[in-house]
Amino acid sequence: MESDEPVETNQAVEDRIDEWRAYLKKHNTIQSVDIEELEDHLRTQISDLCDVGLDEEEAFLVAVKRIGKIEQLSLEFAREHSERLWKQLVHTPEVTDSSTTTKRDAIVAIGLAIAAGIAIKVPEIFGIHFADSDSEFGFYFRNLSLFVLPFLAGYFAWKRNLTIISNLVLAGFVVAAILIMNLYPFSEPGDTLILSMLHLPMALWLIIGIAYAGGKWRSHEQRMNFIRFSGEWFIYYTLIALGGGVLIMFTFFIFNAIGIYLDETIGFWILPCGAAGAVIIGAWLVEAKKSIIENMAPVLTHIFTPLFTLMLLSFLVIMLVTGNVIHFDRELLIGFDLLLVVVLGLLVYAISARDPQKPANFFDVLQLLLILAALIVDALALTAIAARITKYGFSPNKIAALGENIILLVNLGWSAVLYIQFLLKRSPIVRLERWQTAYIPVYMIWMWIVVAVFPLIFSFQ
């Protein structure tokens, strides 16, 4: 019996840790944390406390109390599990954020936003004027994302306290992007130049995910956190842009009333600098206000999933009835690919916000219908691309579109399989969530192939 007691105690503590971890995941809108790292800290605390004489269950309760980063979350857990003495161990009379940390984050974010705005205008010092650009493929358009996104990567590198190696990796990607966009002998206008310009922002954004994840990019939870951040950032940036548009409109109005015209000042200074700085400010707002704003994406998902499903199904039915076929060109393909990405976004935000223990419902059926409709659209796009390749031969645009649509087809296809298995109660919804996060590197690799390798393969044409 004596030899059995430690095993039973260990299992009891493991059950408590599993319950604690599940609670953190369920309440991810309270604070974005690295759950795996916190669990490591928790286990270390338990081990240390056991070494000084506490039994494992006592050590577990005290260890949770000591994890200060989730004190508010532990307090809520205590309120829901008062019968287990959590209130005695984790309840504190007042839980507040560190004002020093909040102010410091704000100062750094505002400083980097100002730096990004200044970076946009630095080329003016060397005689490269945005207003004088006579080509849509000039210096500014090639490097637009490089003026801003490195500052965002720097913000998260600082905030997550990245290691030297992780910082060097980030710097290496940024330097590589700078060299590609400015030293490659692109033809103007050329397909590979356009493709590199279109794909570079997405390639850099995925690299920012490494900084956001604190260098722990292999973590499923951290990848999902970055997906959530991306959606919330887009919401914030859109709100800032709308507010900025209203501000500019009234600025024009009141100054025009006294005969002062600010067209050039606003067009060549306020707009570009403000747009650049807002990228950093939007990220800071997501980080600072996540307890409020992170509920927005799931709410919008539940609003727009039925609408997008209805739109795609109507499109397919009308196309079938009328017999009209899609005449794809480059711009249309980009639009359809963006539509498929939006569908994936709706899927990811919906499954990340749902309780994995809840059974399937009507909304899950709608999600599956949306995925199946998107699959049909993707198949139509692939058919059109294959037909154009057969008729006109290979080109950078066609190969890039072919690759992207195949990648989307695989993602959507397996997502549909996993969703069907979930609806049939043969697989948990968590498998679908993990499939989405595991697939992110595929997009990352393809983006960088298009940016860096396509120009070499197609001789910069």
Which DSSP letter does residue 106 get? H
DSSP 380-437: HHHHHHHHHHHHH---HHHHHHHHHHHHHHHHHHHHHHHHHHHHTTSS-HHHHHHHHH
Three-state secondary structure call for residue 336: helix
pLDDT for residue 384? 83
Which tokens in the block code for residue 357?
């223990």
pLDDT for residue 341? 87
**CA-closest candidate to residue 208, choices 194, 223, 196:** 223
pLDDT for residue 136? 52
List, in order, residues 6 or more apart from 220 with CB less than 8 Å away: 433, 434, 437, 438
CA dist 363 and 307 (Å) reads 12
CA dist 228 and 239 (Å) reads 17
Neighbours of 292 (CB within 10 A): 9
Q: pTM for this structure?
A: 0.72
pLDDT for residue 32? 44
pLDDT for residue 416? 94
DSSP 121-151: HHHHHTT--GGG--STTSHHHHHGGGGTHHH
The answer to whether 140 touches 128, Cβ cutoff 8 Å, is yes
Number of DSSP helices (H) and strands (E) in the chain, helices first? 20, 0
Tens place of pLDDT per residue across the chain (461 aa): 333 343 334 777 787 787 777 777 665 544 444 566 677 777 877 887 777 667 777 778 777 766 644 545 554 554 444 444 433 433 444 444 445 667 888 899 999 999 998 988 888 777 776 655 545 557 788 888 999 999 999 999 998 888 899 899 999 999 999 999 989 888 877 788 888 988 999 999 999 998 998 878 888 888 888 888 888 898 889 888 888 888 888 887 778 877 777 777 787 788 888 899 999 999 998 887 654 444 566 677 878 888 888 888 888 888 888 877 777 666 777 788 888 888 888 888 888 777 777 888 888 899 999 999 999 989 988 888 888 888 888 888 889 888 999 999 999 999 999 999 999 988 888 888 889 989 999 999 999 999 999 999 988 87
Cα torsion through 27, 30, 32, 34, rounded to 10: -50
How far separated are the first and last CA of the chain, in Å rounded? 77
Backbone angles phi, psi at 105, to 5 degrees: -60, -40
